[in-house]
Chains A and B, each alone.
Chain A
Amino acid sequence: MRVRVIREIANARTVAGRPFARTNIRLMVSRSEDGDLETELMAPTCPNNFPEQALSFHQAMMSCLPVTLGRNLNVEFGIVQTIVDRPNCERWSNSERYVVATCNGMILNIDSPDNGVARATQWSGCVAPTGTFRRLPLVLGPSAVMTLVSCALEVAHDQMKNGPFRMPGLSVFDTGDSPYPPQRDPFAEEGKVVSDRMLVHNGKYLARTNLDVDTVFLLLTRPHKALGYISVSSHFCQRNLMIRCVRSASPPEAALWIESWQVRSSVHRGVVHFEAVCSITDPRRGKLSVDSPLALRCDLWQVLAAVHSACGPCAPALNQDPIGGESYGLAPPLILNLTIGELLGS
Chain B
Amino acid sequence: MKDTCYFERARFMLVSVDSMESMGGAVNTCEFIGGRICEEHEASAVFTGEPSGDWHIDLPRPEGLPDPKEALCVTRNFVAGPGVRWSLQYLERISARLVIGTSLSPQPILRRVWALTGQIYTGKGRVVFIGESGRGSGLCHLRDERARESMSKKVSVIDGAGSTESGMVPAVLASPAAGVLVHEVIGHFAEADDELDLSHRVGSRIASEVFEVWDDPLAEGGAAHYAVDDEGVAALGPTRVARQGQLLSLLHSLRSAARCGAVSTANGRSACCWDPPIPRVSNLICAPGQASDEELIDKMGKGLYIHSLANGFSFGNRVEAGIRLAEMVDKGKRTGRFLTGGLVDEDRFVLTRAPEISDASVFHQNSMCGKAGQVLYDVGTRAPAILVSRLNIRA
User: Which residues in A have some Cβ–Cβ distance to B below 8 Å?
Assistant: 18-27, 35-44, 48, 158-161, 212-213, 215, 224, 227-234, 264-266, 268-269, 271, 273, 321-325
Q: Are A25 and B48 in contact (CB under 8 A)?
A: yes
Q: Is B343 an interface residue when CB atoms closer than 8 A count as contact?
A: yes
Contacting residues, chain B, for A21 (C-beta < 8 A): 43-46
Interface-facing stretch out of B226-234, B257-265, B310-318: B310-318
The distance in angstroms between the C-alpha atoms of A23 and B91, with both chains bound, is 26
Contact between chains at B33 and A231 (CB < 8 Å) = no
Q: How far is the CA of A271 from the CA of B343 in the complex (A)?
A: 11
CA distance A305 to B47 in the complex (A): 45
Contact (A19, B32) CB under 8 Å given A42-B49, A43-B48: no
Q: How far is the CB of B222 from chain A (nearest CB, A)?
A: 20
CA distance A159 to B122 in the complex (A): 10
Give the complex CA separation of A22 and B35 in angstroms: 12
A39→B31 contact, CB < 8 A: yes
Shortest B311–chain A CB gap in Å is 5
Residue B389 is within 8 A (CB to CB) of chain A in the complex:
no
Asked whether, in the complex, the Cβ of A27 is within 8 Å of the Cβ of B48, the reply is yes
- Give complex CA distance A35, B373 in Å: 29
Q: Are A24 and B320 in contact (CB under 8 A)?
A: no
In the bound complex, residues from chain B placing their C-beta under 8 Å from that of A22 are: 43-46
- Chain B residues 28-43 with CB under 8 Å of chain A are 28-34, 39, 41-43
The answer to whether B366 has its CB under 8 Å from any CB of chain A is: no
Contact in complex: A25, B46 (CB < 8 Å): yes
Q: What B residues does A265 contact at CB under 8 A?
A: 313, 315, 318, 320
Minimum distance in angstroms from B25 CB to a CB of chain A: 9
Check A23 against B46 for contact (C-beta < 8 Å): yes
Contact A228 B274 (CB under 8 A): yes
Is the beta-carbon distance between B28 and A37 smaller than 8 angstroms?
yes
- Flag whether B349 is at the interface (Cβ < 8 A): no
In whole Å, how far is A40's beta carbon from the nearest beta carbon of chain B? 5
Q: Is B16 an interface residue (CB 8 A)?
A: yes
- A-contact 0/1 string along B262-297, CB 8 Å cutoff: 000000000110110000000000000000000000
Instruction: Decide: A268 near B322, CB < 8 A? Known: A158-B127, A228-B375.
Output: yes
The residue that B117 contacts in the complex, of A48, A158, A159, A233, with Cβ under 8 A, is: A233
- Separation of A20 and B44 alpha carbons in the complex (Å): 6
Q: Within 8 Å CB of B127, what residues of A?
A: 158-160
Q: List residues of chain B with CB under 8 Å of any chain A CB.
A: 12, 14, 16, 18, 23, 26-34, 39, 41-50, 68, 84-85, 87, 89-91, 115, 117-119, 121-122, 125-127, 129, 271-272, 274-275, 311, 313, 315-316, 318, 320, 322, 342-343, 370, 373-375, 377, 394
B275 CB contact (under 8 Å) in A23, A39, A228? A228
A26 proximity list for chain B (CB < 8 A): 48-49
Q: Select from chain A the residue with minimum beta-carbon distance to B29.
A: A38
Q: Do residues B34 and A25 form an inter-chain contact, with CB atoms below 8 A?
A: yes
Shortest Cβ gap from A7 to chain B (Å): 11
Instruction: Tell me the nearest residue of chain A to B121, going by C-beta.
Output: A160
Contacts of B32 in A (CB 8 A): 39, 41, 227
Given A159-B127, A212-B18, A323-B375: A232 in contact with B117 (beta carbons within 8 A): yes
Contact B271 A19 (CB under 8 A): no
A323 — which chain B residues lie within 8 A by C-beta?
A: 370, 373, 375
Query: From B9, which residue of chain A is reached at the shortest CB distance?
Result: A41
Of A25, A37, A233, the contact of B89 (CB 8 Å cutoff): A233
CB distance from A76 to the nearest CB of B (A): 13
CA distance A36 to B318 in the complex (A): 43
A23 to B47, CA, bound (A): 6
**Contact in complex: B375, A229 (CB < 8 Å):** yes
Which residue of the partner chain B has the closest CB to A324? B373
A276, chain B: closest CB distance, angstroms:
14
Q: Which residues of A contact B48 (CB under 8 A)?
A: 24-27, 41-44
Determine whether the beta carbon of B375 is less than 8 Å from that of A227.
no
CB atoms of B89 and A213 under 8 A apart: yes
- Set of chain B residues within 8 Å of A212, measured between Cβ atoms: 16, 18, 87
Contact partners of B118 in chain A: CB under 8 A: 233-234
Interface centre among A159, A227, A273 (most CB of B within 10 A): A227
Please tell me if the beta carbons of A43 and B50 are within 8 angstroms of each other in the complex: yes
Could you list 25 A-B pairs, sorted by A, with CB under 8 Å?
A19-B44, A22-B45, A25-B46, A35-B26, A38-B30, A38-B31, A41-B49, A159-B125, A160-B126, A160-B127, A161-B125, A212-B16, A213-B16, A227-B32, A228-B274, A228-B275, A230-B14, A231-B115, A233-B118, A264-B316, A265-B313, A265-B315, A269-B394, A321-B373, A323-B370
Decide: B315 and A273 in contact? CB cutoff 8 A: yes
Residue among A39, A44, A271, A273 making CB contact with B29, cutoff 8 Å: A39
The answer to whether B117 touches A231, judged by C-beta atoms less than 8 angstroms apart, is: yes
Measured in the bound complex, the distance between the Cα atoms of B118 and A231 in whole Å is 8
Measured between beta carbons, the chain A residues less than 8 angstroms from B27 are: 36-37
| A60 CB, min distance to chain B CBs, angstroms | 21
Cβ of B29: which chain A residues have Cβ within 8 Å of it? 36-39
Contact between B14 and A41, CB atoms less than 8 A apart: no
Return B270 CB to nearest CB of chain A, in Å: 9
Of B39, B121, B129, B394, the residue contacting A19 (CB under 8 A) is B39
In the A-B complex, the 5 residue pairs with the closest CB atoms: A43-B49, A19-B43, A231-B91, A229-B375, A41-B48
List the B side residues contacting A44 at CB < 8 Å.
Answer: 47-49
Asked if B14 contacts A231 (CB within 8 A), the reply is yes
Q: Give every chain B residue within 8 A of A266 (Cβ-Cβ).
A: 311, 313, 320, 322, 343
A5–B232 alpha-carbon span in the complex (Å): 35
A19–B44 CA distance with the chains assembled, in angstroms: 8
A269 and B343 contact, CB distance less than 8 A: yes
CB distance from B226 to the nearest CB of A (A): 18
Q: Which residues of B contact A324 (CB under 8 A)?
A: 373
Whether the pair A41, B370 counts as a contact (CB closer than 8 A) is: no
A3–B173 CA distance with the chains assembled, in angstroms: 51
Contacting pair A228 B271 (CB below 8 A): yes
Q: What residues of A have a CB within 8 angstroms of the CB of B34 in the complex?
A: 25, 41
CA A231 – CA B311 in complex, angstroms? Answer: 15
The distance in angstroms between the C-alpha atoms of A250 and B234, with both chains bound, is: 62
Q: Complex Cα distance A273/B240, Å?
A: 33
> A160 and B31 in contact (CB under 8 A), knowing A18-B42, A26-B49, A325-B373?
no
Q: A231: which B residues are within 8 A, CB to CB?
A: 14, 89-91, 115, 117, 377
Contacts of B315 in A (CB 8 A): 264-265, 273
What are the residues of chain B within 8 A of A230 when measuring CB–CB? 12, 14, 28, 91
With A and B bound together, what is the CA distance between A43 and B31 in angstroms? 13
Residue in B closest to A20 when the chains form the complex, CB atoms: B43
A39-B30 CB under 8 A given contacts A19-B43, A230-B14: yes
